[in-house]
Amino acid sequence: MSELICPHCGASNPLDAIECKKCHRFLFESSSAGAPFSPKEDDWLNSLREDTEPLPESGEENTAASEPPPFTEDVPDWLARIRQRTPEEPGEPVEQPSQQGEEEELPEWLRDVEIPSGKTGQTTSTADEEELPLPDWLSLIDEEKQTEGEALTTTSEPTETGFDRQTGDEELPAWLREIGIPHEETPSQPSAEEEIPAWLVESTTGEGEQPGAPAEPPLSQTEETDWLKSFAAFETQPASEEEESSAAAPEEDWLKTFEAFESQPEPLFSESQPPQPEDESDWLKAFEDFRSETLPEAETEEEPEAVQQPAGEESPPLESLFSEPLEEDWLQSLQSLQEEVSLPESEEESQPISEEAEPLQELPPLTEDIFPVTEGASSAFIFETPAQESVPEEELDVSPFISEELPEWFDEQVFESAEEQPSPAGEAETGLEPAELPGWLEAMRPIEAVAPGRIGSDDDQRIETSGPLSGFQGVLPAEALVTQYSKPAIYSARLQVSEKQRTYANLLETILQQEKQGQTTSAARSAAPQILGRLLVGVAIAVIVLFALFGGIRIAAPPTLFAQENVNFFTQIQSLTSAAGQNTPVLLAVDFEPALAGEISKIASPVIGDLLQAGKPLAVVSSNPTGAALAEDLLLSSAPPEQILNLGYLPGGVTSMAALANQPAVAAPRDRSGAFAWDRSGFQTIQQISDFSAVILLTDNTDTSRLWIEQLSPVLENTPLLIIASSQAAPMIQPYLQSGQAGGMLAGLPGLAAYQQLSGKPDILPAGYLDAFQAGLMLIVVLILVFSLYYLVMQFIRKPETKGK
Amino acid sequence: MDVNFAWTAVAFVLTILTLSYLLGDNPFFRLATYLFVGVSAGYVAAILIFEVLIPRLAEPLMFGSPSEKFLTLIPLILSLLLVFKLFPRLSVLGNPSMAFLVGSGAAVIISGAVTGTLFGQISGAIQPFGLSENGDFLQAGSQLIGSIVLLLGTISTLVYFQFSARRKTEQQTSRNALVQFTAFGGQIFIAITLGALYAGVLAAALTALIERFDFLRTAIQTFLQ
């Protein structure tokens, strides 16, 4: 954008360069080379006026063809020359030189614009557009024209009659012709006939009557200060409505007309054009007819020659025109380039202009020159001359000149044309054929070339910016993944417990805490006194018992009142011993432990002695393993062997008791020696338990005594069940005595004392036993009372403390 | 030396060792207890072997009649199965023997308890109210009072073991006032019974102590002779 490209060698040069720094040739050859472009002259209108001023040096053709215009006072010269050029007919050979002379006087920019509008100039325009950077708005207009022209060639047959009259309009600038077309749709603005410039009236009349006739000066020339008004009228006034428009002459600036042209929507134009051909002005119709008729001629080879001929004739006046040193307009450079461009031999008309516009963009020097000129002007002069490297990017750039003032269709077309341009590289790729690689080269291809799919997603367009893989695309985004991870969510491990469960848990915790604490302090505090107390109690009992046993002190008198069970027991024993003729065996059930053998043996010895003395055979059976041995020890001293049947241990517990109660011979068939028991004399009559004369139970256990009573009492019938029990088992056996299930009982030393008293044998109970027993019991009762009072007092003493806590 | 003197001396020493517990737990007392447990276990094993297994199992199998042998196989098999209870993996095999023992034992105990204790105690509680059998008014009156006390004691003791109660407000559960009063009377009867048992235990222990002291005196007299 900021450099000039040399047309000869293609080298880039700065903006202010006159000649190429590489090939040292002038960047602007032809006449413009001598008059270099000066960016200081920004006003193109000024240059336009200067271009249209009469040249000091004019040729013969110019002087002959141009007559002194009658309106030189009011109308600018360049417009006057345009006026003079309009009546000239390009098809008439006679007046062709004069016409050429008029065209020479046209400004270059108008001539450039005029090229694509005519039939013959179409090929030249295509050739020029390859080199000249035409603005897009012009190319768009040309494109529209071309489409219209194609349509008109098919539908404009009736308008061919006016071809000769309107050929002079083809020399009008294209943008002027475009302005005239949409202006027809707008309501015509009437203007006074006297206000119309004479030259314009002449031109319109000339167009309507004879196109080749020379222009006549107007009859009345009014003082027209604003020449632009007449120009606007010339642009917008159709020939058919000339009279109407002359009645109402608008006092508006020509720029308003141009703005109206810009604001006119394109679709309205394209749609209203075909059905209303009669609304068009005559001169426009003639121009369109001419263009439609000359389209077939453009296909011939004569067309370039016809175009080149006037172009060559225009060069001398142009050189003289641009030879002035002050003429530094951008149009000069444009003209110089136009002259240098060689016209192509032939090109087809069907080639779209949009495709031809691409080479035009490859001329950046002109755009750089033009761009500063166009600043502040309309956006229609935007030249898109992007750099060669970044063509697509610059095409998408929105020009700052595209503002709200522009119509929408213009902006859309600008961008659509920019987007629809295919890239040359893409066209080249489509035309290439795939090469056939050798095997070894295919093997060396990277994995991406042979893999079915591309490694990595196409969406991942990130490029590694750091590390050894810097510059690669699609690498694993390790850093991004690392940043995506975060700490896992923290979930509460607390149990959801209800209030009830919490209460239970607290209660359990309290219990466990109490178990952990224990009572070590109290135990440690009472350990020594307990030992001392136990020692003192033991010593006291021992001393009292020994003193009572061996001291000869009479503490307890023999009992005079006897318990009923004792009396019953004595009665049953007395009945057994009194029956001397009946030696029915007596069953002696031994069920006590060796620990209490001293008590049971002392109680049972007198009873067993009485039975043995009476000759009663005794069958001894034991429900515990030690009972049989204790029974033998009890009976060895006083019983003869033939009178004793020791059945030994009766295994099976309660079942053996039940078996013995039901079938004694089956439950205990043999004695301790293994001999059959029930064959011995005195025991042969025993078939069942009731055959015994009495059953005497020696027991110190409440449970075993209860089992014996439960199993024997139902089956004993009239056989008495006598119990010799320890003092500790007596309370639990007492109910069975009261119920009659047991016939009598002797329990402890009191029972023995009672039996001694009942039997009248005073030596049964050893001396001192009862006194020691009574002394010991009295001591125990005293100790119980003393310690009970002690703890009672201590409880009253400790109570306030516990209350305080 | 007479054998009786020897056994008397052994008994004397063991008695002294046992009475050493008066000074607290000591090795002498432990020696006596361990010796007693060991001798008792050995004695029980000998009793079981020589008084149970041999005469009741071995001899019938070896020298008994076929019927005796057949009948002896049943306890033999059950006894062998009971041995498998020593092995946890094979303890299932001992279940039939245990079932037989528990079943037969429970049946005997329940039948004996019902016929020997339940019916016998019920009749024993009713029997004192048979005043017609007694002609003496005072004796009958005392028997009646005793029967009433016995009845109250029995009822109050049974009511004491009635622990069911209704839940009242403020999360407090308490028995009925009448039930509480009756239970209190039963509590007194239970306390008297337990006191009697405790007294019997003390009396039995005291009698054994007196007998041991008498043995010591006799033994000492024997040793001194």
The pLDDT tens digits of the residues spanning B132-151 come to 655 677 777 887 888 888 88
Nearest CB partner across the interface for B200, out of A648, A728, A780: A728
For the ranges A85-89, A344-348, B201-205, the lowest mean pLDDT is seen at A344-348
Each residue of A467-514: pLDDT tens digit? 787 787 777 766 666 666 677 777 777 777 888 888 898 999 988 888
CA distances from A663 to A22, A139, A681, B184 (A): 149, 141, 19, 46
DSSP reduced 3-state for A290? helix
Whole-model pTM? Answer: 0.51
- The C-alpha R_g of chain A, in whole angstroms, comes to 75
More confident residue, A494 or B205: B205
Specify the pLDDT at position A512: 87
More confident residue, A295 or A545: A545
Give the mean pLDDT of chain A: 65
Residue A77 has pLDDT above 70, yes or no: no
Nearest CB partner across the interface for B112, out of A626, A654, A727: A654
Distance CA(B87)–CA(B92), nearest Å, equals 9
Distance CA(A797)–CA(A778), nearest Å, equals 28
Question: pLDDT band at residue A799, thresholds of 50, 70 and 90?
Answer: low
Are residues A189 and A244 in contact, defined by beta-carbon separation less than 8 angstroms?
no
* Residue closest to A266 by CA, chosen among A207, A188, A178: A178
Specify the pLDDT at position A78: 66
CA distances from A356 to A205, A347, A376 (A): 39, 11, 28
* Residue closest to A562 by CA, chosen among A390, A784, A755, A305: A755
Specify the pLDDT at position A226: 52
Residue A599 has pLDDT above 90, yes or no: no
Are residues A383 and A374 in contact, defined by beta-carbon separation less than 8 angstroms?
yes
What own/partner pairs with CB < 8 Å and gap ≥ 24 does A385-392 have? A385/A1, A385/A133, A385/A361, A386/A1, A386/A361, A387/A1, A388/A362, A391/A361, A391/A423, A392/A423
Residue B58 has pLDDT above 70, yes or no: yes
Residue A169 has pLDDT above 50, yes or no: no
* Residue closest to A61 by CA, chosen among A37, A95, A27, A90: A95
Residue A597 has pLDDT above 70, yes or no: yes
Distance CA(A773)–CA(A771), nearest Å, equals 5
Mutate to test the interface with A, among B35, B44, B47 (most CBs of A within 10 A): B47
3-state secondary structure A384-438: CCCCCCCHHHHHHCCCCCCCCCCCHHHHHHHHHHHHHCCCHHHHHHHHCCCCCCC
Question: Which residue in chain A has the smallest CA separation from B203?
Answer: A727
For the ranges A637-651, A743-757, B168-182, the lowest mean pLDDT is seen at B168-182
Helix (H) or strand (E) holding A588: strand A586-591
- This model of the complex carries an ipTM of 0.87
Question: Which residue in chain B has the smallest CA separation from A532?
Answer: B23
Helices (H), A551-591: 564-578
User: Distance from A636 to chain B by nearest Cα, in Å?
Assistant: 13
Are residues A103 and A85 in contact, defined by beta-carbon separation less than 8 angstroms?
yes
Question: pLDDT band at residue A70, thresholds of 50, 70 and 90?
Answer: very low
DSSP reduced 3-state for A100? helix
Are residues A174 and A129 in contact, defined by beta-carbon separation less than 8 angstroms?
no
Specify the pLDDT at position B38: 92
For the ranges A770-784, B8-22, B127-141, the lowest mean pLDDT is seen at B127-141
Say whether residue B105 is in contact with chain A using an 8 A CB cutoff.
yes
Helix (H) or strand (E) holding B166: strand B166-167
Binary contact (B200, A726; C-beta < 8 A): yes
More confident residue, A35 or B25: B25
Question: Which residue in chain A has the smallest CA separation from B15?
Answer: A595
Q: Tell me the chain B residues in contact with residue A730 when contact means C-beta distances shorter than 8 Å.
A: 200
* Residue closest to A334 by CA, chosen among A17, A19, A31: A31
Residue A198 has pLDDT above 90, yes or no: no
Task: Count the Cβ atoms, other than its own, within 10 Å of residue B157.
Answer: 18
* Residue closest to A600 by CA, chosen among A754, A725, A478: A725
Q: A677 Cβ partners below 8 Å, 6+ apart?
A: A619, A645, A647, A665, A668, A669, A670, A671, A683
Task: Report which residue type is found at B153.
Answer: G
User: Distance from B44 to chain A by nearest Cα, in Å?
Assistant: 5
Binary contact (A741, B120; C-beta < 8 A): yes
Distance CA(A475)–CA(A469), nearest Å, equals 8
Specify the pLDDT at position A695: 92
Each residue of A113-151: pLDDT tens digit? 444 444 444 444 444 444 445 555 555 555 555 555 554
Residue A91 has pLDDT above 70, yes or no: no
Are residues A5 and A15 in contact, defined by beta-carbon separation less than 8 angstroms?
no
- Two structure tokens written together for A242: 């000339």
Binary contact (A599, B211; C-beta < 8 A): yes
Portion of chain B with pLDDT greater than 90, in percent: 14
Specify the pLDDT at position A24: 79
Nearest CB partner across the interface for B51, out of A649, A706, A766: A649
**B123-156 as b/e, with b when 16 or more CB fall inside 10 Å?**
ebbeebeeeeeeeeeeebeebeeebeebeebbeb
**A556-587 as b/e, with b when 16 or more CB fall inside 10 Å?**
beebeebbebbebbbebbeebbeeeeebbbbb
Binary contact (A534, B22; C-beta < 8 A): yes
What's the DSSP call for residue A153?
Answer: H
Specify the pLDDT at position A718: 84
Q: How, if at all, do strands B173-174 and B166-167 pair?
A: antiparallel
- E strands, A200-338, are none
Task: Report which residue type is found at B5.
Answer: F
- Two structure tokens written together for A205: 């009349």
Write out the DSSP string of A605-655. HHHHHHHHHTT--EEEEESSTTHHHHHHHHHTTT--GGGEEEEEE-TTTHH
Binary contact (B200, A670; C-beta < 8 A): no
3-state helix, strand and coil shares in percent for chain B, rounded to the nearest 5: 90, 0, 10
CA distances from A196 to A251, A276, A804 (A): 11, 27, 132
- Chain centre to alpha carbon of residue A147: 55
Surface-to-core class of residue B193, CB atoms within 10 Å of its CB (0-12 exposed, 13-18 middle, 19+ buried): middle
DSSP reduced 3-state for A328? coil
Q: B88 Cβ partners below 8 Å, 6+ apart?
A: none
Question: pLDDT band at residue B99, thresholds of 50, 70 and 90?
Answer: very high
Helix (H) or strand (E) holding B178: helix B177-224
- Two structure tokens written together for A32: 């413009």
- Complete edge-to-edge strand list for the sheet that includes strand A586-591: A644-649, A618-622, A586-591, A694-699, A721-725, A744-747
Helix (H) or strand (E) holding A699: strand A694-699
Each residue of A331-363: pLDDT tens digit? 555 555 555 544 444 444 444 444 444 444 444
Question: Which residue in chain A has the smallest CA separation from B204?
Answer: A727
Each residue of B161-189: pLDDT tens digit? 887 777 766 667 777 788 888 888 889 99
Specify the pLDDT at position A630: 86
Nearest CB partner across the interface for B210, out of A670, A739, A773: A773
Are residues A588 and A721 in contact, defined by beta-carbon separation less than 8 angstroms?
no
* Residue closest to A743 by CA, chosen among A722, A766, A716: A722
Task: Report which residue type is found at A333.
Answer: S
More confident residue, A29 or B50: B50
Question: Which residue in chain A has the smallest CA separation from B105?
Answer: A655
Say whether residue B142 is in contact with chain A using an 8 A CB cutoff.
no
Binary contact (B201, A728; C-beta < 8 A): yes
Each residue of B20-37: pLDDT tens digit? 888 888 899 999 999 988
For CA atoms A126, A128, A133, A135, the dihedral sign is negative
Nearest CB partner across the interface for B203, out of A542, A649, A748: A748
DSSP reduced 3-state for A803? helix
Are residues A680 and A573 in contact, defined by beta-carbon separation less than 8 angstroms?
no
Specify the pLDDT at position A558: 82
